[in-house]
Structure 1
Amino acid sequence: MPESAVVSVDMYVFRTTPEGLKHLLMRRAAGRLYEGSWRMVAGKINDGEQAWQAAVRELWEETGLTPISLFAVPSANHFYEWQTDRLQLIPAFAAEVAGDPQLNEEHDRFEWLQMGDAVRRLAWPEQQRLLRLVDELVREDRVPPSVRIPV
C-alpha cells in the first residue's frame, strides 16, 4: 500500500490589473528539476513549519514578494509517484501580490497570464484544476472566510 505524506506546498500567485486577474507563472531554469517547465511557486515544508508558513516563505525565496492577501485553497494537489510508491498530497495556497518578482536561481523567466493562457502552460492536470479554482474564487469574490489566512 502506498504511503502518503505532506512534505511540500503549492502557491498560486495572482494580481488584479486593468485587464483583469493575472496569474504568475515562472519557467524552471536549466539544470533544475522540471527544467523548462512553467510552474507556480512551490517548495518543501521545513521541520517545525506549518504548510501555510512554508508557502509564504517559498513565495519570498522564489520571488521576493510578500502577500497582500492569502488563503488556503479549499482543495489540494494530489498524485501517485510510482518511483517512491507514495501518494503525494500537496496543500495549495493562493496569494495576491503587488509588483513583479525578482527571480532566484530556480527560474529564468516569469509571465503574468490570464487564466486560460496560464492553464495551457501548466503540464499537470491537478495544477490546472487548482489554478482554475483559484481564478474562479477570486474573480467571483467567493473565497470562504474560513480559509483566509491573516497576513
Structure 2
Amino acid sequence: MKSEEGRIRAAGAVLWRRAPDGPRVALVHRPRYDDWSFPKGKVDAGEHVLGAALREVVEETGIAVRLGRRLPSITYLKDGRPKQVDYWSATPIDAEAVFVPNEEVDRLEWLPVAEAVERLSYERDAQVLREFAAGPLTTRPVVILRHALAGRKSDWRDDDALRPLDDRGRAQARALAALLGVFGRLRPVSSATARCVETLLPYALASGGEVTTDRAFTVGRTDAGRAGSRLVELACDGADPLVVCTHGEIVGDLIAELCRKFGEPVPDDPSLRKGGFWVAHLAVDDDGTSGVAALERHWAPPS
C-alpha cells in the first residue's frame, strides 16, 4: 500500500517462544536475497496494517500467531523510495507449530536474542530486536474502542440508547472482528447502548465470547471518574485480555486514566473517530500488571 507521498508500507513481527534459558526468536532466510530477517512483507492495497502483519507471518512461516506489543517502526530507502516497516512482537498460537518452507522463505531458525542479533543481515533489524529484548516479554492487551458509525443523532426519533449502527457502521463492525482478533481472545465489555453492543457483536460471535454490558461505560449513565475507575479495575483483575466499547464522550477520559494509573504520558490527542480503538499493552510480571509497555491507535474503515 502506498501513501500519497509514495511511501511503501510493510508489516511484520518479532516471533518468539519461551525456552528454559530465555526467549528464542525466529529468523527467516530468504533465498532470493540470501539474507536473514524477521517475517514481514508489503501491506496490500486496502489492507489494514494489523492484518498485514498477521498474514505475512503466516505466509512466510506457516505458523499462526497472535500479536503482542507494538515495536518501533523502521524506515529506509527501497529503490529510491521511503519504505516503512511496522513491527509487533508475536507468539505462536500452537506451541508445537512447525515451520513450513515456501517459495519466499527456505529456512527458519529459533535463536537466543544475542545470537539472533549477530545473525540478522541488517542493523536496522538488530535495533528492533534490541528494543524487543529491552521490554517485557509478557503483555496483556486492553482495547478501548469507540462504537462504529450509527447515523446522525438528530435523525433518530426514538430513545438514543436504542440507536443502531448504520450500513457503514455494520461494515466497520465486521472489519473490527478481524482486527481485534489479531490480539487473541478478548473479553467483550460494552456500554449498554445498541450501537456499542452491535459494534462488538461480530467479534464476540467470531471469538466465541459473550458481550457483557456495563453502565460504567454508558453515556448518560456514568461520568469520567466512574468510567475510568471501572476500566482500571477490569484491566488489573488478572483475567483475560479486554476490549471495552464505549462513546466518544468517554474514550479520552478512559485512556487518560489508564495512562495516569501506570505513569504513562497521556497522548496529546486521546480522542478516537467512530470505529477507532486504542490498544494499551500492559506489562505483566510475577506481581501482576506493572505498567504500559506500548500504546497504539488504529481506525477501522470506513471512518
- Tell me the distance in 2 between the aligned counterparts of 1:60 and 1:119: 22
Pick from 10, 14, 28 the counterpart of residue 16 of structure 2: 14
Cα deviation, 1:48-81, whole Å, max 9, x if unaligned, reads: 21111101001111112122442321x2111234
Pick from 47, 50, 73 the counterpart of residue 48 of structure 2: 50
* 8 Å CA contact retained: 2:37, 2:122: no
- Tell me the distance in 2 between the aligned counterparts of 1:44 and 1:69: 17
- Tell me the distance in 2 between the aligned counterparts of 1:145 and 1:121: 27
Deviation of 1:93 after TM superposition, in Å, equals 1.6
Aligned residue for 2:109?
111
Cα deviation, 1:120-147, whole Å, max 9, x if unaligned, reads: 1112111100011112213486462535
* 8 Å CA contact retained: 2:70, 2:88: yes
* 8 Å CA contact retained: 1:6, 1:91: no
Pick from 125, 144, 148 the counterpart of residue 293 of structure 2: 144
Aligned residue for 1:27?
29
* 8 Å CA contact retained: 1:52, 1:93: no
* 8 Å CA contact retained: 2:11, 2:41: yes
* 8 Å CA contact retained: 1:10, 1:93: yes
> Given the superposition, is the C-alpha separation of residues 148 and 62 from structure 1 closer, same or farther in structure 2, using an over 3 Å criterion?
farther
Indicate the structure (1 or 2) with the bigger Cα radius of gyration: 2
Aligned residue for 2:89?
94
SS state at 1:107 partner: coil
> Given the superposition, is the C-alpha separation of residues 148 and 24 from structure 1 closer, same or farther in structure 2, using an over 3 Å criterion?
farther
> Given the superposition, is the C-alpha separation of residues 9 and 145 from structure 1 closer, same or farther in structure 2, using an over 3 Å criterion?
closer
Give the structure with the higher percent helix: 2
What TM-score comes out, normalization by structure 1 length?
0.80
Farther-moved stretch of structure 1 (110-119 vs 133-142): 133-142
SS state at 1:43 partner: strand
One-letter identity of the residue aligned with 1:9? A
- Tell me the distance in 2 between the aligned counterparts of 1:67 and 1:102: 14
Q: How does 1:50-69 map to 2 (within 5 A)?
A: 50-69=48-67
Cα RMSD of the aligned pairs, angstroms, is: 2.4
SS state at 2:125 partner: helix
Q: How does 1:33-44 map to 2 (within 5 A)?
A: 34=33, 36-44=34-42
How many pairs align?
Answer: 140
What TM-score comes out, normalization by structure 2 length?
0.42
- Tell me the distance in 2 between the aligned counterparts of 1:18 and 1:50: 36
> Given the superposition, is the C-alpha separation of residues 126 and 20 from structure 1 closer, same or farther in structure 2, using an over 3 Å criterion?
same
> Given the superposition, is the C-alpha separation of residues 125 and 87 from structure 1 closer, same or farther in structure 2, using an over 3 Å criterion?
same
One-letter identity of the residue aligned with 2:82? L
* 8 Å CA contact retained: 1:41, 1:58: yes
Aligned residue for 1:78?
75
Deviation of 1:101 after TM superposition, in Å, equals 1.7
- Greater relative contact order: 1 or 2 (C-alpha under 8 angstroms, separation 6 or more)? 1
Cα deviation, 1:6-27, whole Å, max 9, x if unaligned, reads: 4211321111112210100111
One-letter identity of the residue aligned with 2:58? W
- Tell me the distance in 1 between the aligned counterparts of 2:68 and 2:297: 6
